[in-house]
Structure 1
């Protein structure tokens, strides 16, 4: 189902990560973007291509076809399409029907993700793709995975904007400082299309797993700092830093960066590619401790968000009780709503 303008909070004029770079090769790859079937592949020169995954002649997926040079051919109709979506070959005649084409999506590849622009192609150059350079920096050790969540992207954004839920959902993984009492207020900064927020916590203990990977005593206390950013409708980034002091060469800011690439595949389904980066404890042993723990946590998040979506589908939305922890949520919702209204001409 296509993502229509009515009753949605999904901006089309935005960059969305439809795949990781390593997934896209010389074999057609089927994905979904904003309710559209899309097919990805690489040209002989290595450039990533994103096309509508439906032949213009018959409703068959191009992803079931084959590549010949830089062009993709339907495995049923034999129609061939160039990387820009133009039909370049019809097996039953010499001339290609006038105007025969499939939609081609603007593409940006950064070495980690293949980003596709979901809206008006002419506007893609006005909004630079998100920066994720830390995911490719040797100064950071990164792991991650991907999952499909049967919930709207708005529910995922709301979740990332308020980490106070972590202590309720998974007390073992949550920073103990979140359970020490009301957290400090968020300092929120808003631009036309982004929201960033931060807060500084007084010295507190670390979770046992956190002290273990930092090789610090579990009873020691450290100041901690939270940062979050709604970078774009397709990217959310969180940072959590432990400020170590008095431990010699281990002193400094030890930071996790949580990267969430969110791609609405339909109105109520979201592809979630997550990455966790750190500038400390780069060993494989530390990754072996962290990866299954974070994977299990994000699986719990997915289950709760899918419950929320099921309730919304069954009972509809209701007025919600707001708290001070919703400061960032409120601003993100406002920006997304304005983006959608600008696209639909309702403002």
Structure 2
């Protein structure tokens, strides 16, 4: 556990991270979006095309023909090959050109980049950095997205803001009562308890316990707990990787807690745009009626977050960075920024 200075607030010149490291896994699509027709995506400002081979596995290639600057995502799939609709070059799942329509011999070395790819937890993940590192930095396990005891819903959209602004948002939930009072449990309207932060080389975890208090109306309706009851609650956050953040909120009842897991896959389209895949999983009441209670509440909140972060990005674009006042609630946020900057330094050094 790494200690934190929690004294008087002070100004800092450090701001949100705008660039993301390439040596990381990023979600480029929902699994159900990738089929036998090419699907184009953008990460780090570079196009990637996804498609399924005849065996059903996903291939990920640079979305630019080796012959002319034309997107392969506008081509077609034949068998296991991706064929450019402009040049007619045919590419295998490994990115190599296997045939050229104007000659029998394929030019030596003709190929586009093939990315390591993994299909997991309903998403297609692509490793955008050094291929040899992909197997040494596996995706963390997300059992609440893969095991049958959990019920999940979610959505995805592009936010016109740097990914670091989204990370900052997840690292500090003390803004929730101000951004969306109807969502925030009553305990968040009080001075928050101590935040315990644990830092490793590439990850940050934080946790906090709230004293017994009444639930928010939607919490009572979703869990079936009486609105007049008071329950202790527990919060956890986990910066698992540059492109992955997870949160947990427990209502502590006898036996197993009633838990909501919030999963966020962040993909840097470029330094000012981020693709956000979010999912909410629960271990209680799998009924569709419960999803009907939770979905509009959480969807509405994340849309408010999207709007707020886009306002922040527009302000930074117009006026540039400025000193920030730090407070105790920033403990996890500052550690996430430090880890991100360290990963970026390692990325640049290779």
Q: TM-score range by the shorter chain?
A: over 0.9
Question: Of residues 325, 329, 333 in structure 1, which corresponds to 2:337?
Answer: 333
Return the alpha-carbon distance in structure 1 between the equivalents of residues 349 and 130 of structure 2. Answer: 14
Q: Give the equivalent residue in structure 2 for 1:189.
A: 198
Shift of 1:306: 0.5
Shift of 1:294: 1.0
Q: Does structure 2 conserve the Cα–Cα contact (< 8 Å) formed by 1:155 and 1:305?
A: yes
Return the alpha-carbon distance in structure 2 between the equivalents of residues 194 and 119 of structure 1. Answer: 18
Question: Of residues 213, 228, 236 in structure 2, which corresponds to 1:204?
Answer: 213
Deviates more, 1:105-114 or 1:215-224: 105-114
Q: Does structure 2 conserve the Cα–Cα contact (< 8 Å) formed by 1:108 and 1:129?
A: no
Shift of 1:252: 3.4
Q: Give the equivalent residue in structure 1 for 2:108.
A: 98
Return the alpha-carbon distance in structure 1 between the equivalents of residues 293 and 336 of structure 2. Answer: 33
Shift of 1:8: 4.6
Shift of 1:130: 2.6
1:32-181 map, 5 Å: 32-179=42-189, 181=190
Q: Give the equivalent residue in structure 1 for 2:4.
A: none
Q: Give the equivalent residue in structure 1 for 2:10.
A: none
For these two proteins, the number of residue pairs brought into alignment is 334
Q: Give the equivalent residue in structure 2 for 1:231.
A: 240
Deviates more, 1:13-22 or 1:233-242: 13-22
**Which secondary structure does the structure 2 equivalent of 1:63 belong to?**
helix
Q: After superposition, give the CA deviation of every residue in 1:313-344 in whole Å (9 maximum; x if it has no partner).
A: 11111110001000000100000000101121
Q: Give the equivalent residue in structure 2 for 1:30.
A: 40
Q: Give the equivalent residue in structure 1 for 2:5.
A: none
**Which secondary structure does the structure 2 equivalent of 1:37 belong to?**
strand
Return the alpha-carbon distance in structure 2 between the equivalents of residues 119 and 147 of structure 1. Answer: 24
Q: Does structure 2 conserve the Cα–Cα contact (< 8 Å) formed by 1:195 and 1:229?
A: yes
Shift of 1:16: 0.5
Write out the 4+ residue segments of structure 1 that deviate beyond 4 Å after TM superposition. none
Shift of 1:34: 1.3
Q: Does structure 2 conserve the Cα–Cα contact (< 8 Å) formed by 1:9 and 1:337?
A: no
Where in structure 2 are there 5+ consecutive unaligned residues?
1-16
Where in structure 1 are there 5+ consecutive unaligned residues?
1-6, 246-250
Return the alpha-carbon distance in structure 1 between the equivalents of residues 87 and 225 of structure 2. Answer: 64
Q: Does structure 1 conserve the Cα–Cα contact (< 8 Å) formed by 2:18 and 2:272?
A: no
Shift of 1:89: 1.0
Q: After superposition, give the CA deviation of every residue in 1:113-142 in whole Å (9 maximum; x if it has no partner).
A: 111001111211211123223212111100
Return the alpha-carbon distance in structure 1 between the equivalents of residues 285 and 179 of structure 2. Answer: 26
Deviates more, 1:204-213 or 1:7-16: 7-16
Do the aligned partners of residues 111 and 35 (structure 1) sit closer, same or farther apart at CA in structure 2, a change above 3 Å counting? same
**TM-score normalised per structure 1:** 0.94
Q: Does structure 1 conserve the Cα–Cα contact (< 8 Å) formed by 2:203 and 2:241?
A: yes
Are 2:312 and 1:302 equivalent residues in the alignment? no
Higher relative contact order (CA 8 A, sep 6+): 2
**TM-score normalised per structure 2:** 0.93
